[in-house]
Structure 1
Amino acid sequence: MINENIRKARKEKGISQEELAIKLNVVRQTVSKWEKGLSVPDADVLIQIADLLEVSVNELLDIKTQNDTVENIAAELAHLNEQLALKNQEKALFMQAEKKRGLILLLSFISMLTAMNVKNEIISIALTGGCMLAASIILYRNLALLTKITTEDMKIGTLKVTTLFNITVLIFAVIIAILSETSFIKLSESSGQWLALTVTCIIILFVGYISPKLPFTRHTGLRLPWTVQDEETWHIAHKMIGCISLPLVLLYLAASCTINNFEAITLAVILLWIGIPGLISFVFWWKKFHSKH
């Protein structure tokens, strides 16, 4: 790259950035920007740099052909400027996305600390739910940035619907928890189990419906170490979730009506719901990347 070539030629000549800047009638920061790849010199200035460092313009541009006319140099620099602009834009988007990820992680960490340390149940539920809700809203507002899907509206739409569903379930859970703690509503053990059963079934059915439509992303879906590494493995796992969700809900309902151990049944269904797609996708991923070794 031109920035590395300028820096290398300058050091080989034994000239400092400040000395080169003085000879070119520019400030040292301008030379520093060239060498960091933040900007490129104009064609006339590049010719001066080549003369001062006793190298050819082609060497600085890292090209083989003989095109050292001002017009050709200007065209090459214009091309480099376009590449530099795209690179800087990608870097800016990456930094912006990292800030959003950091904020989401911070809110998640605060919600965890709140749940562990705040003794008042109502305050703990409100603060924890508020942090998680804020994190979900930030995710919703920045889905295109965080997933880098900007042109496929269908996929963005799927992610938005999924995130909105998550927000709705979170709000519902927080409201029920607060109302229960304040004794505004009183749930018996039986009614509480049926409420949990209903919510769990709705979640499983919704996820089963939406999973086959989810795009390959590290933010929403079955984020296992192998599913986030390979897009084909990702889609296999989520298609499997779509296939087993309805049968598992029917099994869940039947078992809940006949077996008197709601917690064990719920745990078993959740483990099957995650475990079956996880195991099948892992076997596929392992065969795909390790069977030939």
Structure 2
Amino acid sequence: MSLGQRLYDLRKTTGLSQEKAAEQLGVTRQTVSKWETDQTTPDFDKIIPICNLYNVTTAELFGEEKENDYSYNIDSNTEQTAGDSFSEAEKFKIRHKYKIRFAVLLSIGICLYILSVTPFVVLKNEKLSIVLFFVMIAVATMLIVFGAIAKPKFEDEKKSDTPESNLYKRICSIMSGVVLVIYLLLSFLTGAWYITWVLWIVYAIACQIAKLVFSLKGIEIDE
């Protein structure tokens, strides 16, 4: 049984609607629906509230069913069910580690972007400053790209993106193209490479604003 199906059964057992469950967990109804259909998995900080809401332990949530709550017989399928449950729990842990790692790499990358202008301020050697600037930019970009592409392979098993997610990705894709053109034009025409990189921070903020707008409309975006 998948985690989504288990969440659905637990909610039905407690007699809660998706709206009531979402209200008590501090999320939207769409988020609860995506959990129950295995489109997304709950964030790590929602696991304990979910367990408290449905009166189960984390072990029971990830596969060890309560003895009196469910009518499954102990037969030849038990080992397979336990194996599937363990796999589901392991996937959740891997996703959580990936999110933390990506957040760390993204933070380091942004810090390097910001610090890349310091050689021009601290050093008097212009050539060395330019070299250090491009090295820091390259390292920052490498860290961010690596963090973004190092997704767990089983993420490909998820259901296809929703129309809202596709729209959000198209918006960010168009913005990235526009920012790239502006960035290259300004940089080559003015030679101000040490400051034009700020455009990418503006782009990142714009994408987050777009995501916030979707969230305010009750739409969760899966990136």
TM-score (norm 2): 0.40
Mark the structure with the bigger radius of gyration.
1
TM-score (norm 1): 0.33
